A and B are shown apart, each in its own frame.
Chain A
Amino acid sequence: MNKKSILSTMDPHTVSGVGRVFALLLICVAMGFVSPVFFTARNISLIITNASIMAILGVGLTITVITCGPDLSVGSILTITAVVAVIMVKANFHFLLSFAVALMMGTALGFLNGVLVTKVGLPSFISTYGLQWALFGFAYVILKGYVIYNFDADFRFIGNGYLIGPISMPIVVMVVVVFLGWFILRKTTIGRMFYATGANRDAARMSGIDTGKAILLAFSISGFLSALAGIVLVARINACQADIGKNLLLPSLATVYMGGTRATGGQGGVFGTLVGAVIMTVVENGMNLLGVPSVWRNAIIGTLIILTVLANIAVSKQLEKAGSKM
């Protein structure tokens, strides 16, 4: 059997997934040459910890992209729920209570996104894009230009605590989230609903799938995870301000698309997103080590997104060509 037909019978996910991990290893090796500090246990733990926040956001975003379209409001939901949590903690509410309120708020906002898409019929990128303006606005109203910092140790544990050895709490949260994400998507009928709704909403509906419910659920999960990521983030950096989530949208989208999740929905998975998150963090880490000025950040990430999606398109074209030889 020649190479092409092996490729065509293999699951396309596996093929590109392997390619991605390979790319990651390549980048890491390159980084190792760039800076000797890179391969220390401390640096690696740092990278993965930083990646975990991106990964938590990414899992939520992956689910919405698979089901419907990207949730562009993740950064703003993260911000406003973090702001609320932080204010509550400073007002001496119990830290668990402030977590709970933030998470519920995130879920509710996600649900609102879902409603805008299902009941009103707005394309998701419009409604979520618009919502983020409003939410950032509200965050600004509440916090103005101030920075709130210095939280109690209990609150901060989820961000900077260590469970066992070098495994930090954010990593633990990430592992749990990724596992649950994988489980729901691949092992449950709910996950199938997500994929079907994203692949062909009409056909899914005509097959008896409640696509409205699927979309509402997907966005609610995304909102929940955005809030969770926000909590971990502010706990970790021990500070919070009104624009904390502003620069997270582009990198998290890059994470998802790099992870191989198809932009038009119906395909993709959380492990790819995890790899994507690590790649993004390594790249950012590398940019730091190399002293790349922050003005170039967005440009680089934007270019990465474009290159990644172009690569995805090219790869799927190749697989289609190989596959149509049946």
Chain B
Amino acid sequence: MKKDVEAITAATITSKSLAKIIKTAGDAAIAYMDQKVMMASMEVEKPNGETSIVAPPTASTGFPIGSSEGKSKEKIPPQAGGK
């Protein structure tokens, strides 16, 4: 019984730890992509103060602004022996 509890606790800790690593990486990646989009938008503005049309971020950086529109339906092929 004690061994079972230990094993389940260990598996829970593993699961939570891996999920936390994935979430941290995901959050940082999104923040980075957003930063790139903002920087690219500022670079497009002309230095002499002339009015200019800021190009959409997707055109200059490839990083879309916070939405999931147009989400690719492409599926990543599963690992060998996986799904």
Are A and B co-members of a single complex?
A: no
